[in-house]
Amino acid sequence: MLKGILPHPFLVYTSDETMKLFTSLLALAPSAFAALTYKGVDWSSVAVEEASGYSYKNTAGTTQPLETILKASGVNTVRQRVWVNPSGGSYNLDYNLKLAKRAKAAGLNIYLDLHFSDTWADPSHQRHTQQEQSN
């Protein structure tokens, strides 16, 4: 019998029934999380590559849209980078909307990666946008 506060700061048990419920939920957690498996790729550059003449072939050597190949290979999520005002128009909102429509039509989930920058940004590499620099 467990009563009182457990080491985890958000879990408080006051009865055996509550503990039984919690134990049951823990037993079901692996199957619930298994249903949330994501297999993804960053396909942010696909339209830029296609505009340069690249095409994609499946394992049989047949040329297909990349999203078709990805879906058939078990991918269920695509990552798309969105930049504020990138040079050349690639990776901006309009560019990403076109890619998102392709992903949606193929039945893929979309994971937007918002970069509050005009170009690549990560925790150790942050540049102000052109608009911020001019203010």
Residues 27 and 77 in one domain: no
Residues 55 and 78 in one domain: yes
Residues 121 and 88 in one domain: yes
Residues 72 and 130 in one domain: yes
Residues 77 and 11 in one domain: no
Range of the domain at 19: 4-34
Which residues of the chain fall below pLDDT 70?
A: 1-19, 21-22, 24-26, 28-35, 118-123, 125-135
Residues 21 and 70 in one domain: no
Residues 12 and 60 in one domain: no
> Which tokens go with 66?
């990349």
Is the separation of the CB atoms in 99 and 62 below 8 Å?
Answer: no
Residues 48 and 25 in one domain: no
* 111-131: pLDDT as tens digits: 998 877 766 666 676 666 666
User: Domains in the chain: how many in total?
Assistant: 2
Residues 6+ apart with CB under 8 A from 38: 76, 77, 109, 111
Residues 49 and 64 in one domain: yes
Give the model's pLDDT for residue 40: 93
Residues 29 and 78 in one domain: no
Q: Which of 88, 89, 90, 79 is nearest to 114 (CA)?
A: 79
* 38-56: pLDDT as tens digits: 899 999 999 999 999 999 9
Residues 88 and 102 in one domain: yes
For the entire predicted model, the pTM comes to 0.65
Residues 23 and 67 in one domain: no
Q: Which of 88, 72, 90 is nearest to 80 (CA)?
A: 90
The three-state DSSP-derived secondary structure of the chain is CCCEECCCCCCEECCHHHHHHHHHHHHHHHHHHHCCCCCEEECCCHHHHHHCCCCEECCCCCEECHHHHHHHCCCCEEEEEECCCCHHHCCCHHHHHHHHHHHHHCCCEEEEEECCCCCCCECCECCCCHHHHHC
